[in-house]
Structure 1
Amino acid sequence: MQNFDIPTMRSQIRASDEQRDAGLTEPDTLEMFKNLSYGPHGVENTFDLYYPKGTNTCLPTIINIHGGGFFYGDKELYRFYTMYLATQGFTVVNFNYRLAPKHHYPAPLEDTNTLMNWLIENVENYYVDLDHLFLVGDSAGAQLAEQYATLTSNSTYAQNFSFPVATVHFKAVALNCGAYFIGQDTPINQDFSYYFGETITPTLEKQFPVEAYITANFPPAFVTTATHDFLKDLAQPLTDLLNEKGVKAHCQLYASPDYSELGHVFHLNQKSDIAKQCNDEEMAFFKDFLA
């Protein structure tokens, strides 16, 4: 994956994603705040926020980290998915972060952390409930969600980073079709040299594999994959590791009722019944942690 054509890949994936969303319309049941700025990096540090109309108190809040192999994706391509989550009774934050190869690791983690600090400082304006925070990510975004949840739940791990980690606690996470176990059996940058760089530094070696730093304080996790997800084989091992650490974790393999192909990040397709089932089951999992 080191020598592929990123501009061509971005164009091809975007065409597929736009076809997936063709004909969808934004629900008229949500309050929407778009293109809010949370950091200094222009459009790459902007976010949208949604919650149901008529809301007059803080709602449990979902932070979504989009996927895209660390080189692709933005909040626009996730708006229908995240808007659906908001219709289920949540405040939802859908944000952009800096992408490779222009920006290298750990830029997305730094941006996620900057967003969290922005929310802490502006919580009273947008019905964000910092006591009931949830984290969602898919593909590369699931890896980032796993890593950021580890940062916020293991202060020893956080000391390996140059930025102070926001003082937040996630009640639960949903990790969809994720790229886990980076650096466990192969060089950290083997598949993502455009993101991690060509040289593995001592600092980088102290930060991976992330799974070595997961503790019992990691949030409860709903881990999903699908029959034709090319990262399918990583989901159950991660779930097993979490359970071994004492974390409540559930792995769900989704399949099409007619046995047709169900691929990577299937849950984003808002025209799909199996995607709706997955998203509804994740929201039900989250609601179990609303005391």
Structure 2
Amino acid sequence: MLNFDISTMRKNIREIDEKRDAGLTEPDSLEKIRNLSYGPYGIENTFDIYYPKNTDQCLPTIVNIHGGGFFYGDKELYRFYTMYLATQGFTVVNFNYRLAPDHQYPAPLEDINALMNWLMLHGEKYYVDLDRLFLVGDSAGGQLVEQYAVLISNTAYAQKFPFEIASVQFKAVALNCGAYFIGQNSAINQDFPFYFGETVTPALEAQFPVESYITADFPPAFVATASHDFLKDAAQPFADLLIAKGIETTCKIYANQDHTELGHVFHLNQKSEIATQCNEDEITFFKRFF
């Protein structure tokens, strides 16, 4: 339905993101290993790793899943945000994954899983601590954080997928402005036809809504949104569901003190004090689970 317009949408969103980041510079306090490969799909299976200079032992590690409606985004647009996280004493993995419509569901989940397998084999060389592993994502990336965390924590759900799930665990996750409850009240491909395809099979339908497969083994979660986020209304119900399952959960709706608009994925703006506050809150939450 949206395929004909995706190239224009990508161009327009990129202009907004580049304007947001204009004038920013990369911190010189970090080691930056760029364009490593974790899979067979070229640039879409590349990633960067950042960690503080003079690091000599594995650090707690954050893996970031970028947003973009499943059709947009890349690690370059997330480098300032993820480098900030690394300056706070973490090893941070910032990666690309395959995008719709060229690659449809479950391609991003397969790629996340391939990345985790790579980190299991090679991560120690880059100061990745698999015993202190955290996952963060926003928008579509928030949905992918949720779904992959369910795959890791619910073996019955994992068996619904045609690939073997990596044997990793997450100490905690952070989900920012996420797209939750896909398929709960409408066909799963209604909002994202370019991602799920026009023909939805019974096997695919059985994987949604993801929330129905969340168990008490889901990792502790920080759920964030903003006063003018177009996905705001899903955040508190999602957090309430986690709490009802017995999962340690913090939910925050951030707002500007002057009541001006604070929108979708606000936390990526490294020039914004409220974004810094959100990111610091999530880091503080993660540190509780070291």
CA distance in 2 between counterparts of 1:203 and 1:47 reads 31
State the 1:124 CA deviation: 2.2
AA of the residue aligned to 2:119: L
Structure 1: which 4+ aligned runs deviate by more than 2 Å? 1-4
Which amino acid in the other structure matches residue 241 of structure 1?
L
| One-letter amino acid of the structure 1 residue matched with residue 30 of structure 2 | L
1:1-291 superposed matches below 5 A: 2=2, 5-290=5-290
Report the AA paired with residue 107 of structure 1. A
Is contact 1:170–1:219 with CA below 8 Å preserved after alignment? yes
CA contact (8 A) 1:2 1:191 kept: no
Preserved CA contact (<8 Å) 1:2 1:190? no
Q: Deviations over 1:16-55 (max 9, x none)?
A: 0000000000000001000000100000000000000111
In the alignment, the residues of structure 1 paired with residue 274 and residue 184 of structure 2 have an alpha-carbon distance, to the nearest angstrom, of: 32
- Tell me the secondary structure at the aligned position of residue 43 of structure 1: helix
Go from structure 1 to structure 2 and tell me whether the alpha carbon gap of 1:111 and 1:121 turns closer, same or farther (over 3 Å shift).
same
1:203 deviates by 1.1
Matched residue SS, 2:67: coil
State the shift of 1:3 in Å: 6.2
Paired amino acid for 1:260: T
Q: Distance in 1 between matches of 2:81 and 2:281?
A: 14
Q: Deviations over 1:50-104 (max 9, x none)?
A: 0001111000000000000000000000000000000001000000000000000
Shift of 1:245: 0.5
Secondary structure of 1:132's match?
strand
Partners of 1:29 and 1:52 within 8 A in 2: yes
Instruction: Compute the TM-score of the two structures, normalised by the length of structure 1.
Output: 0.99
Moved more, 168-177 or 197-206: 197-206
Amino acid at match of 1:63: V
Displacement of 1:123: 2.0
Q: How far, CA to CA, are the matches of 2:161 and 2:59 in structure 1?
A: 31
Task: Report if the CA contact (8 A) 2:45-2:95 is conserved.
Answer: yes
Which amino acid in structure 1 is aligned with residue 106 of structure 2? P
- Distance, in Å, in 1 between the alignment partners of 2:141 and 2:123 is 24
TM-score, normalised via structure 2 length: 0.99
Distance 1:97 1:278 in 2: 25
Give the fraction of aligned pairs with identical amino acids, expressed as a percent.
74
TM-superposed deviation, 1:259: 1.1
Task: Indicate if the aligned counterparts of 2:3 and 2:101 stay in contact, CA closer than 8 A.
Answer: no
Give the secondary-structure state (helix, strand or coil) at the position aligned to 2:51: strand
Secondary structure of 2:206's counterpart equals helix
The 1-side partners of 2:42 and 2:105 are apart by 18
Tell me the secondary structure at the aligned position of residue 170 of structure 1: coil
Bigger shift: residues 277-286 or 120-129: 120-129
Give the Cα separation in 1 of the matches to 2:125 and 2:54.
Answer: 15
C-alpha distance in 1, partners of 2:286/2:273?
20
Name the SS for the 2:200 alignment partner: coil
Give the residue type in structure 1 aligned to 2:54: G
| Structure 2 unpaired stretches of 5+ | none
Q: Distance in 2 between matches of 1:3 and 1:238?
A: 29
Contact between 2:188 and 2:208, CA under 8 Å: does it hold in 1? yes
1:2 Cα deviation (Å)? 4.1
Letter in 2 for 1:73: G
Aligned-residue offset at 1:206: 1.3
Residue 285 of structure 1, CA deviation: 0.1
Deviation at 1:148, TM superposition (A): 0.2
Q: Separation in 2 of the partners of 1:124 and 1:224?
A: 30
